[in-house]
Amino acid sequence: MIRIRLGTRGLGNVRFAVSPVGSAKDLLRLVGFSPGTLTPPWRTRATDALSRHRLGLLAVVGGGGPLGYAPDFLRPEPPGFLTDIDTALHQIATTPRERVRYELTEAVNGHSWDPGSSHPPPRQLLRALDRGEDHFAHRLADEMARFWHEALEPSWPAVRARLEADVAARASEIARCGLAETLNRLAPNLEWRDGELVVHLRTGGIHQLTLDADAVILTPSVFVDWALFCAGEPPGAPAPRTPLIVYPAGQVDCRPAAREHPLIGATRLKLLAELSQPRSTTELARRLYLSPATVSYHLQLLHRAGLVTRTRRSRQVLYQRLGAAAPGPG
């Protein structure tokens, strides 16, 4: 069980973020520990990327060490709501040496708060460490870049739209129900109680950690079904990070009733109804007897809210309603 104690300041600094490299790490974790839960296209694409590009170190480290632990520096702290992949890869490559050393000690010897859980270290990990922490971080960043471009980038627009739509739905939920209730609905093993954010772990009572935090970062993922705790360490850890919790992205309903969503009015409901297939602004204006300027205005709002996707085809920009199903590779 992980308990994060948040005072008034910490509660006010709870924020959401969408992480492309975090999604890649979640995919790696499933490949390493539960490949059967992935759909065949995702499993094939991820395993092919690891084998074709010989990303053995990433598979060993990113897939998880003892008790499923993988170093947190592979999921850098998002500086904003959406961090581009190049920034995140630079963060990995420039991880401070002492932080790399600390986290790899965790991976080799078990968690510092559970020192009795040591496991034999993977030989490939030890061989890579022989050249030092800086080389190790740069090599992992390079392998993560190749994995990202091969396995996840082709589907990232759909995955990103799903994640942004989830965050938009959570923001609406906070406005209706409050932050505490929204936190309790994020994942079955996550709860807010008595001023603490509690993460119940599948390992049961093995891990016990209580942290005092001034902030928490919440990031959705299409590759998890339970909340995962990342970063946030006992006092004295080098280069301490903000506690980060990965939670399962919900199945976002993109056509809520008008009374349930502050963005949706009669005109936007009609637009969403027309967007079961890709359509241009001009076509929508013709079908709904509206001016192109009016249609464009409403589409921009729906796109910013994550309710529609936008793609360019030749000289046309086409919009389509975001489906509720999990995006697949393609």
CATH number of the domain that residue 284 is part of: 1.10.10.10
Q: What is the pLDDT averaged over residues 151-177?
A: 88
Q: What is the pLDDT averaged over residues 132-157?
A: 91
pLDDT at 131 over 70: yes
Tell me what pLDDT residue 230 has.
83
User: Would residue 253 count as lying in a domain?
Assistant: no
Least confident among 9-23, 62-76, 94-108, 149-163: 62-76
Same domain, residue pair 237 and 277: no
- Number of residues that this document lists for the chain: 330
Same domain, residue pair 191 and 266: no
User: Would residue 218 count as lying in a domain?
Assistant: yes
Does 233 or 242 have the greater pLDDT score? 242
Total of domains in the chain: 2
Q: What is the pLDDT averaged over residues 282-286?
A: 90
Same domain, residue pair 224 and 125: yes
Same domain, residue pair 96 and 218: yes
Same domain, residue pair 125 and 43: yes
How far, in Å, are 181, 293, 299 from residue 15 at the CA level?
Answer: 15, 34, 26
Least confident among 20-34, 180-194, 242-256: 242-256
Across all residues in the chain, what is the average pLDDT? Answer: 81
How far, in Å, are 28, 69, 199 from residue 203 at the CA level?
Answer: 20, 12, 11
Q: What is the pLDDT averaged over residues 20-39?
A: 88
Residue where a domain terminates, one of 227, 248, 269: 248
Does 162 or 114 have the greater pLDDT score? 162
pLDDT at 116 over 60: no
Residue where a domain terminates, one of 220, 248, 276: 248
pLDDT class of 258 with cuts at 50, 70, 90:
very low
Residue where a domain terminates, one of 218, 248, 278: 248
User: Would residue 151 count as lying in a domain?
Assistant: yes
Report the distance separating Cα 176 and Cα 172, nearest Å. Answer: 6
pLDDT at 300 over 80: yes
Tell me what pLDDT residue 216 has.
93
- What pTM, to 2 d.p., does this model score? 0.70
Report the distance separating Cα 20 and Cα 78, nearest Å. Answer: 10
User: Would residue 222 count as lying in a domain?
Assistant: yes
Same domain, residue pair 278 and 229: no
Tell me what pLDDT residue 15 has.
94
pLDDT class of 26 with cuts at 50, 70, 90:
very high
pLDDT class of 234 with cuts at 50, 70, 90:
low
Same domain, residue pair 112 and 66: yes
User: Would residue 9 count as lying in a domain?
Assistant: yes
User: Would residue 327 count as lying in a domain?
Assistant: no
Q: What is the pLDDT averaged over residues 267-292?
A: 85
pLDDT class of 262 with cuts at 50, 70, 90:
very low
User: Structural domain of residue 269, as residue ranges?
Assistant: 258-321
Same domain, residue pair 29 and 71: yes
pLDDT class of 219 with cuts at 50, 70, 90:
very high
User: Would residue 326 count as lying in a domain?
Assistant: no
Same domain, residue pair 22 and 52: yes
User: Dihedral of CA 307/313/315/316: which sign?
Assistant: negative
User: Would residue 328 count as lying in a domain?
Assistant: no
Phi-psi region of 130 (alpha: psi -120 to 50; beta: other; left: phi over 0): alpha
Least confident among 19-28, 41-50, 98-107, 256-265: 256-265
